[in-house]
Structure 1
């Protein structure tokens, strides 16, 4: 499964305004709530509980908040860019600029891990990461992902 199989244009936010973790999660979950029909506050609460277990700010300016929901019928992937950077309690202590938010149905552990791995692999590519950070609109973000996200 490629990322563009689950990432919809309306779920790409290129100008996140929030300056803290909760604010970013609130922004990123707006399209997720619309797509899933699940209450926005429930999505934020679930992600904040997950963050208490350990940060999803993996370093290098990247955050991959994620979770599983039993009432979810499909995978939801959102992407966000913060121009100023966000204090996301990243492992390296640096601000986070690139976010991928992933929700999967509760029983889909293998799919969940595969998508997290795919996102992480893409973001290890310095050129991909820089091009993504510089993208000015959702169409450009999708084009960049399509260019780099090849089948394994």
Structure 2
């Protein structure tokens, strides 16, 4: 499976407007909620519960908010870009610009961990992150990811 096998183009947001963590999570969840039919508030609540354990802002301008839901039948992957950056309580204390949202069914731990690892590896590549920051459309994000979208 590849990242683009699960990343829905409708869940790619290239101009996040929110200035704080809860706002970003709400924006990222909006298309995921529409795609899955799962309640928006329920998704945000699961993500915030995970954030209380420790920020998913991993540093280097990257955030990978993630969580698991009981009543979800397939995983959901979304992407968001904040041009100005947001205080996402990252490990390095710097603003977060690039977000991957991952919500998986409750009992799919293996898939959840594999996808988290794959996204993390992808985002360690500085040239790729720079291209994402300059992207003007969801199609460009898909094209950038496709350049380095290995099976996980």
Please give the secondary structure, in 2, of the residue aligned with 1:85.
Answer: strand
How far has the Cα of 1:150 moved from its partner? 2.0
What is the distance in 2 between the residues matched to 1:85 and 1:76? 23
How far has the Cα of 1:49 moved from its partner? 1.1
User: What is the CA deviation profile of residues 7-36 of structure 1, one whole-angstrom value per residue up to 9, with x for unaligned ones?
Assistant: 011000000000000000000000110011
| Structure 1: runs of 5 or more not aligned | none
**Alpha carbon RMSD of aligned pairs, Å?**
0.7
Aligned length: 152
Off by >6 Å, runs of 4+ in structure 1: none
Residue 59 of structure 1 aligns with which residue? 59
What is the distance in 1 between the residues matched to 2:150 and 2:60? 22
| Structure 2: runs of 5 or more not aligned | none
Residue 127 of structure 1 aligns with which residue? 127
What is the distance in 1 between the residues matched to 2:43 and 2:52? 15
What is the distance in 2 between the residues matched to 1:104 and 1:41? 16
Q: TM-score, normalised by structure 1?
A: 0.98
Q: TM-score, normalised by structure 2?
A: 0.98
Residue 49 of structure 2 aligns with which residue? 49
Residue 92 of structure 1 aligns with which residue? 92
